[in-house]
Amino acid sequence: MDKPLLSMDDAILTVFGVCTRRSTGVKRVRVAQIEVGLRAYLEAGAADLLTAEELTLLAAEREFAPEGAACRLFSSTLLTAALPGFLMPPYLVPDFLLREAQLSMVGAFIDFLVPANRYDHGSDRLRTMLRRTLAEAMQDLKRERQAQSLERLLGQLSAEQLEHMERLRRDAPD
């Protein structure tokens, strides 16, 4: 007999519960902010992944209890399918430290929802695709941080120093 799938709400409570217990101070605040953002994304963005029948069911659920309807109603399978969208604007947060927490939380969800070594080719491909999407988002964050650091460093240089650097760049062999 197949065991029933977790609801999105149960999966979110489990993963964020573990992460909240393991964090303190500012990190705990960030975990809470990411949870709010993920729930908002799922309520708004999950509709793109639903069938017409599921949309009707969601609309009916929202009539009775609008807050958190999608998370209560649908299984963690939908959460797995929706994770890549949480790594894109406007849901990818601009603050670097908060985004780092967001990426870490997505990694925790991947590990929880698509565990390794399930001997299931489809799950392996899904896990690989999700990990690749996460790695790309981490690379983007790294590039943005480096650009910000360079910009901050250049902002500290005097006009003469900037001019000297520009001359060196122009005179350098190609």
Residue 1 clears pLDDT 80, i.e. is over it: no
Which residue matches tokens 């994770």?
Answer: 83
> How much is the pLDDT for 116?
58
pLDDT in tens, 51-85: 999 999 999 999 999 899 999 999 888 999 999 99
Give me the mean pLDDT over the 29-57 stretch.
Answer: 91
Contact 134/103 with Cβ under 8 angstroms? yes
Confidence of residue 139 (pLDDT cuts 50, 70, 90): very high
- What are φ and ψ of residue 7, in 5° steps? -75, 165
Measure the CA–CA gap between 134 and 66, rounded to whole angstroms.
30
Give me the mean pLDDT over the 10-26 stretch.
Answer: 93
Give me the mean pLDDT over the 86-98 stretch.
Answer: 92
What angle is formed at CA 11 by the lines to CA 77 and CA 90, rounded to 5 degrees? 75
Of 63-67, 78-82, 100-104, 160-164, the one with minimum mean pLDDT is 160-164
CA dihedral 100, 22, 107, 3 (to 10 degrees): -150
Of 22-36, 95-109, 159-173, the one with minimum mean pLDDT is 159-173
Measure the CA–CA gap between 138 and 70, rounded to whole angstroms.
28
Neighbours of 137 (CB within 10 A): 19
Give the global pTM: 0.81
